[in-house]
Structure formats: structure tokens, C-alpha cells
């Protein structure tokens, strides 16, 4: 634990800030929630600002910011925070383009600051075990099924349907963050089909086909129209057995036997990692999940489907 907790401001008090960031900061002795920044919402008992600029100007003692706004405003906020000498934690996705995040890395490096592009799903409890199990195997085929009900998980979030909001890749990038973590070799996209509701800038479903240097067939099926049971799982057939990583990375099944199952503690892991990065004065920015999404938008065939009404 650090001697004095890092003072942190949370920016964008919406669903994920309330569900995860605020409770995890409160539970982590390395951090002290010193301010909230949000145009419309606030946190009871915490100093509040409606703009980031106001907070940066009036609270030089707050060394860290966690950006929990939609991705379309991430770059502007991160640039302002870095220019004001603050360490920055970015919610996923870290930005709306690969180039803008690369520039943030340079800005943070130039200013000797920590930049942490978080991928919360990588902190799911069975992900590291899945990575270790796959490390010495040859993957023959791999299948991701990430299907959920957008009305249940993202009610009323207009930004998600606007350019840069990623649509179904907003959850899909979580799957890609796990796949890029656990596969022993890098993969690349071969083909994709993206389904765009006719009234939206972003897709509601995506079928992706990847391969790797060994010719493995790696498929991903993302769909936001899943009612009933939701599915967040991936399966690998390898030269030495079958792996199922289920429940968003919380459960690992090898050859039909459950070898690991634990309650999710993804954001606890994020704040533990942020404390470690601050302590060691390092940054952690892996762009590979975002690159695969960019490739899908570049290579994907587009189909227009019925309009989406929330």
C-alpha cells in the first residue's frame, strides 16, 4: 500500500462509474475519491465539478483522473488532464481511433505520467488461467459467442449508436480483449459482416473471421439482439484438449470439467493494477483489441437491417 492514498477524480458519473469505479475506489486504500466531474450527475458527499477544466484548475492536489465518459470525448479529456500533469486511467475503449490513443501514449511519456488503458474483462478471474493453459498448446479452432440484450445493458445510451460509440463492439471489444490476452499467437482479421440498423451509425451485430500464423480458424459472433439467456463465452479446440471460458471469463472448463469459477472482481483488479503502475511510474496501453475493431470497420461487409428503437 502507498503511504498516502492517491487522490483521484472520477469523470463521467454514469452507469460504470456508479456500478464499479466508485465502490472499487472506496474499497481500495491506495485511492481516495477527491472529486467527481460530470455535467448532470454528482456523488453525495464528494466535491463536485461540472467540467474537467474547472477541476484541473482548482484542484492541483488531485493527481489522478479516471475517465468514465463515452469514448467520443476521451481524447480531449485525457489531453487536458495530461497537460495539467495528471495520471490518467481510461475506461475501455481507450478512444475512437488507434491514432488518437497512440498520441496519448506519447503525451503521457513526454510528461512522465502514467497512462492506463483498462480492459476490465482481462481481470475476470479465470482469464489468466486460460492464458496459462493455452500457452503451450496449438489452437486448431476458436469460437467466441458474445450475445446480449442491448436494451437490458445499455438502455437510453444514445452515444453508443453514434459514430465512435462502437455499437455491438462496445461489448465485443471486451471479448477481443480476452482473446488477445489468452491466444498464444497473434490473430488477424480475414473477413467480417457487420449489421447496421438503418437509423444508426454503429452495428448491432458482427460476424468476424480471424486466423493466425498456423491457419487456425478463429470465429467471433457478436449480437446485441439476444433476449433470454445471455452468452459471453469462448471455446478452443487444441492439439491437447478443449477449453471453454464462460461467463465473461469467470468460469474455466477444461475437457468438460470445471477447473475454476469465481465471482467477478474485474474493477478491483483494475485499481490494483493502476496503483502498481503509479508506484512503478509505468504506463500500460495495449491497443490490440481496438485494432481488431478498426480492422472490422475497414474490412467488414456492411448490411443494413431494420431500425433500432430503444
Residues at the contact surface with ligand NAP, assessed by CB under 6 A: 12-17, 38-41, 68-71, 73, 91-92, 120, 157, 159, 170
Whichever of 139 and 147 has its CB closer to ligand NAP, that residue is 147
In angstroms, give the least distance from the CB of 281 to ligand NAP: 26
Whichever of 168 and 278 has its CB closer to ligand NAP, that residue is 168
In angstroms, give the least distance from the CB of 17 to ligand NAP: 6
Whichever of 155 and 241 has its CB closer to ligand NAP, that residue is 155
- Asked if residues 78 and 90 have their Cβ atoms less than 8 Å apart, the reply is yes
In angstroms, give the least distance from the CB of 54 to ligand NAP: 13
Grid cell of 194 as nine digits? 457487420
DSSP type of residue 306 = P
Residue of minimal Cβ distance to ligand NAP: 14
Catalytically annotated residue among 7, 15, 92, 251: 92
Whichever of 84 and 216 has its CB closer to ligand NAP, that residue is 84
Cα distance from N-terminal residue to C-terminal residue, the chain: 44
In angstroms, give the least distance from the CB of 43 to ligand NAP: 11
In angstroms, give the least distance from the CB of 206 to ligand NAP: 16
Q: Is 180 helix (H, G, I), strand (E, B) or coil?
A: helix
- 3-state DSSP: the chain helix, strand, coil percent, rounded to 5? 35, 30, 35
In angstroms, give the least distance from the CB of 273 to ligand NAP: 15
Grid cell of 28 as nine digits? 481500495
Grid cell of 79 as nine digits? 489531453
Q: How many other β-carbons are positioned within 10 Å of the β-carbon of residue 61?
A: 8
Whichever of 289 and 300 has its CB closer to ligand NAP, that residue is 289
Q: CB-based burial of residue 62 (10 Å sphere; 0-12 exposed, 13-18 middle, 19+ buried)?
A: buried
Q: Is 147 part of the annotated catalytic residue set?
A: no
Q: 238-250 burial by CB neighbour count: b if 16+ within 10 A, else e?
A: beeeebbbbbbbb
Sign of CA dihedral 157, 77, 270, 107: positive
With the CA atoms of 193, 197, 202 and 206 taken in that order, what torsion angle do they form, in degrees rounded to the nearest 10?
A: -30
Residue 210 CA: distances (Å) to CA of 38, 222, 296? 39, 14, 10
Whichever of 116 and 159 has its CB closer to ligand NAP, that residue is 159
Which among 197, 194, 195 is positioned nearest to 208, based on CA atoms? Answer: 194
**What is the set of active-site residues?**
92
Amino acid at each position: 500500500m502507498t503511504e498516502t492514498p492517491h487522490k483521484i477524480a472520477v469523470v463521467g458519473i454514469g452507469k460504470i462509474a456508479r456500478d464499479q469505479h466508485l465502490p472499487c475506489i472506496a474499497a481500495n486504500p491506495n485511492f481516495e475519491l477527491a472529486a467527481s466531474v460530470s455535467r448532470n450527475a454528482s456523488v453525495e458527499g464528494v466535491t463536485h465539478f461540472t467540467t474537467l477544466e474547472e477541476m484541473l484548475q482548482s484542484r492541483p492536489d488531485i493527481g489522478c483522473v479516471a475517465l468514465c465518459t463515452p469514448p467520443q470525448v476521451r481524447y480531449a479529456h485525457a489531453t487536458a488532464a495530461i497537460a495539467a500533469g495528471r495520471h490518467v486511467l481510461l475506461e475501455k475503449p481507450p478512444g475512437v481511433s488507434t491514432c488518437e490513443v497512440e498520441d496519448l501514449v506519447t503525451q503521457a511519456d513526454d510528461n512522465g505520467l502514467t497512462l492506463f488503458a483498462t480492459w476490465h474483462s482481462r481481470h475476470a478471474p479465470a482469464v489468466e488461467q486460460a492464458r496459462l493453459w493455452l500457452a503451450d498448446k496449438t489452437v486448431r479452432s476458436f469460437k467466441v459467442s458474445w450475445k446480449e440484450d442491448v436494451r437490458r445493458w445499455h438502455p437510453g445510451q444514445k452515444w453508443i449508436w453514434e459514430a465512435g460509440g462502437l455499437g455491438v463492439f462496445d461489448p465485443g471489444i471486451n471479448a477481443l480483449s480476452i482473446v488477445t490476452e489468452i491466444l498464444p499467437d497473434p490473430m488477424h482479421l480475414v473477413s467480417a459482416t457487420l449489421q447496421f440498423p438503418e437509423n444508426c451509425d454503429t452495428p448491432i451485430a458482427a460476424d468476424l473471421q480471424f486466423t493466425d500464423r498456423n491457419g487456425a480458424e478463429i470465429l467471433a459472433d457478436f449480437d446485441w439482439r439476444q433476449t433470454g439467456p445471455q452468452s459471453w463465452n469462448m471455446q478452443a479446440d487444441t492439439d491437447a484438449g478443449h477449453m471453454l471460458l464462460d461467463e465473461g471469463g469467470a468460469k474455466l472448463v477444461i475437457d468438460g470439467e470445471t477447473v475454476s469459477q469465481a465471482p467477478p472482481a474485474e474493477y478491483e483488479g483494475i485499481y490494483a493494477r493502476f496503483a502498481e503502475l503509479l508506484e512503478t511510474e509505468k504506463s500500460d496501453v495495449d491497443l490490440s483489441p481496438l485494432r481488431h475493431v478498426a480492422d472490422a470497420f475497414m474490412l467488414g461487409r456492411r448490411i443494413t437491417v431494420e431500425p433500432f428503437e430503444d
